[in-house]
Amino acid sequence: MTKKIIVIDDSLTVREQVGDVLSTAGYAIVEAVDGLAGADAIRNNPDASLAICDLHMPRLGGLALLELLRAEGTSKVPFLMLTTEGAVELLEKARALGAKGWMVKPFKPALLLATVRKLERAVPA
């Protein structure tokens, strides 16, 4: 069975870059253009093995999306935050809201793939 990853980012370029890396490695990719679309994608794909999410997006950012999903209590999809931000307080807030990882853009494809595989192993099925 092909594992599914949801990529939530307002940048088409980033969605394409992440999608290319992961689809080449055999993952199915679901794209969302912001946090609201990401929430719908997560609700519609509860079998996704991971969501990779930007922090700053129009309509609903990554932290607000985590807060929404936590309040709903319905999503078990683990999150990797992929952002230009490196501030420790943002990282800590994301972790407190349930994010399993944090990676700063621009990313190295090999590191992204290794992180995705690590997070998949760390999260029970």
Domain that includes residue 74, residue range: 4-122
Count of domains forming the chain: 1
Q: What is the pLDDT of residue 76?
A: 83
Q: Please, which residues bridge with residue 101 across strands?
A: 80
- In the prediction, which pLDDT does 2 show? 82
| Residue 68, domain CATH | 3.40.50.2300
Query: What are the pLDDT tens digits along the chain (125 aa)?
Result: 689 999 999 999 999 999 999 999 999 999 999 999 999 999 999 999 999 999 999 999 999 999 999 898 877 899 999 999 888 999 999 999 999 999 999 999 999 999 999 987 665 54
* Beta bridge pairs of residue 8: 32, 53
pLDDT of residue 86: 83
What is the model's pLDDT at position 124? 52
d(CA 67, CA 73): 10
Supply the pTM of this predicted model: 0.93
* Radius of gyration of the chain from its Cα atoms, rounded to whole angstroms: 13
